[in-house]
A and B are shown apart, each in its own frame.
Chain A
Amino acid sequence: MARKAITGNGAIALALKQVEPDVMAAYPITPQTEIAQNYAQYVANGDVVTEYIAVESEHSAMSAAIGSAAAGARTITATSSQGFALMWEMLFIAASLRLPITMPVITRALSGPINIHCDHSDSMGGRDCGWIQLYGEDAQEGYDNAIQAFRIAEHMDVRLPVMTMIDGFIISGAIGPVETLDDEQVKEFAGDYVSVNPLLNVEKPVTVGAFDSLGGWYFEHKVTQNRAMENAMDVIEEVGREFGELTGREYSHFKTHEIEDADIVLVAIGSAAGNVKTVVKKLRTEGKKVGVLKVRTFRPFPTEQIREALSGAKVIGVMDRSDSFGAQGGPLFTEISAAMYGADAHPQIINFIYGLGGRDLFPDDIEGAVEMLEKAAAGEPVAQQRHYLNVREG
Chain B
Amino acid sequence: MSKSAKTKKEKWDISDVQNWGPGRHEMGATIPESGNADDYETGGWRSERPVRDLEKCNDCMICYFACPDSSIRVENDKMVDFDLEHCKGCGICGQVCPRDAIEMMNEIKACKLEEK
Contacts and interface: CB of A to CB of B under 8 A. Distances in A.
Question: Do A and B interact?
Answer: yes
Interface of A: 96-99, 159, 196-197, 204-210, 212, 217, 220-221, 223-224, 227
A107 B54 CA distance: 68
B32 A96 contact: no
Given A217-B20, A220-B20, A207 B34 contact: yes
| Highest count of chain A CB atoms <10 Å: which of B17, B25, B30 | B30
A221 B33 contact: no
B26 interface: yes
26 contacts: A96-B28, A96-B29, A97-B28, A97-B29, A97-B30, A204-B32, A205-B34, A206-B30, A206-B33, A207-B33, A207-B34, A208-B28, A209-B29, A210-B29, A210-B31, A212-B29, A217-B17, A217-B25, A220-B21, A220-B22, A221-B22, A221-B25, A221-B29, A223-B22, A224-B22, A227-B22
B25 A220 contact: yes
Nearest to A159: B27
A197 B28 contact: yes
Interface residues of B, number: 17
5 closest pairs, A vs B, by CB? A205-B34, A98-B28, A207-B31, A223-B22, A97-B28
A227 B27 CA distance: 12
A100 to B, nearest CB: 10
Nearest to B34: A205
A323 to B, nearest CB: 34
B36 interface: yes
A34 B27 CA distance: 35
B27 A207 contact: no
Contacts, number: 56
Nearest to B21: A220
A197 B34 contact: no
Contact of B31 (A159, A206, A223, A227): A206
Contacts of A159: 27-28
Contacts of B26: 197
Contacts of B30: 97, 197, 206-208
A159 B27 CA distance: 9
A308 to B, nearest CB: 29
Contacts of A99: 28
A207 B26 CA distance: 11
Nearest to A207: B31
Contact of B27 (A204, A205, A212, A224): A224
Contacts of A221: 22, 25, 28-29
Interface string B17-48: 10011110111111111111000000000000
A85 B8 CA distance: 43
A220 B21 CA distance: 6
A156 B17 CA distance: 24
B13 to A, nearest CB: 15
A212 B31 CA distance: 10
